[in-house]
């Protein structure tokens, strides 16, 4: 079965508020059908409708920043079905106690609208048909997890989530030959720089990298195997 990724947004904290651009998110398509949404920040529901026609019912959440979870409270209504939300238990705790805390009665209603799937002690989330996410902590200013998605034990693609360049994190992610990574023009502790991910790509010529969270920046990388991902663009992982 084919596995494609489609970019739904490349924004960061201010991009939706100031410019109306969707926050960083992408979806996994199996056999051309939307299967998994990765993050649900501000602007993402409309982008998913525009590019996919419908939202996947399964959503992985990396962390509780607004540009990754801002539209989580509206997911059940947008889907007209029960969403299944996958995340690390520490992230789920923050989602339930902070993001969904509009008012006490509303909080319990919204928590109850979602099927929550928590990573186990091995940091794994096992799904149907041999699919599995292996989580790994990102280097970020808020509890945040990236992952490798595998099927039948074979790593297929990975996502850094919001993260500074961290050698252990990138080594974990590099199990998969396709990598979606967070980077921006200037290096910071909590977001990698274009230079850092360019160096990584040059050192890993067999990998294919796409950069999100750049907020519409322009950049030309030296390595041929890395580019800025653009909203609406697809990446074929399994043809």
Q: Which residues bind Zn ion (CB under 5 A)?
A: 65, 67, 162
Report how far apart, in Å, the C-alpha atoms of 140 and of each of 62, 152, 169, 172, 190 are: 11, 30, 11, 16, 4
Closer residue to Zn ion (CB): 13 or 204: 13
Closer residue to Zn ion (CB): 30 or 187: 187
Please state the closest distance from residue 226 (CB atom) to Zn ion, in A: 19
Closer residue to Zn ion (CB): 66 or 78: 66
End-to-end Cα distance, the chain: 8
Please state the closest distance from residue 31 (CB atom) to Zn ion, in A: 30
Closer residue to Zn ion (CB): 27 or 156: 27
Please state the closest distance from residue 65 (CB atom) to Zn ion, in A: 4
Closer residue to Zn ion (CB): 150 or 213: 213
Please state the closest distance from residue 142 (CB atom) to Zn ion, in A: 6
> Contact 149/158 with Cβ under 8 angstroms?
yes
Please state the closest distance from residue 12 (CB atom) to Zn ion, in A: 5
Please state the closest distance from residue 236 (CB atom) to Zn ion, in A: 25
- Would you call 180 helix, strand, or coil by DSSP? strand
Q: CA-to-CA distance for 146 and 17, rounded, in angstroms?
A: 25
Closer residue to Zn ion (CB): 71 or 150: 71
Look up tokens 């199996």; give the residue. Answer: 30
**What are 185's strand-pairing partners?**
none
Sheet of strand 84-87: strand arrangement: 115-118, 84-87, 58-60, 33-38, 25-30, 3-9, 234-238
Q: CA-to-CA distance for 29 and 37, rounded, in angstroms?
A: 9
């Amino acid at each position: 079965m084919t596995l494609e990724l489609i970019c739904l947004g490349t924004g960061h904290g201010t991009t939706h508020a100031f410019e109306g651009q969707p926050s960083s998110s992408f979806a996994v398509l199996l056999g051309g059908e939307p299967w998994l949404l990765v993050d649900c920040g501000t602007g993402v529901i409309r982008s998913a409708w525009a590019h996919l026609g419908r939202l996947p019912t399964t959503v992985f959440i990396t962390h509780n920043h607004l540009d990754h979870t801002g539209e989580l409270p509206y997911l059940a209504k947008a889907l007209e079905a029960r969403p299944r939300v996958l995340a690390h238990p520490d992230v789920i705790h923050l989602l339930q106690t902070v993001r969904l805390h509009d008012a006490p009665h509303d909080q319990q209603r919204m928590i109850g609208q979602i099927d929550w799937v928590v990573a186990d002690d091995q940091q794994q989330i096992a799904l149907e048909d041999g699919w599995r996410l292996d989580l790994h902590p990102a280097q970020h200013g808020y509890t945040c997890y990236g992952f490798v998605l595998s099927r039948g034990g074979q790593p297929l693609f990975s996502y850094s989530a919001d993260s500074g360049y961290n050698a252990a994190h990138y080594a974990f992610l590099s199990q998969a030959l396709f990598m979606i990574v967070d980077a921006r023009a200037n290096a910071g502790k909590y977001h990698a720089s274009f230079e850092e991910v360019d160096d990584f790509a040059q050192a890993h010529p067999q990998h294919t990298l796409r950069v999100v969270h750049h907020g519409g920046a322009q950049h030309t990388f030296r390595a041929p195997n890395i580019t800025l991902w653009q909203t609406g663009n697809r990446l074929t992982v399994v043809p």
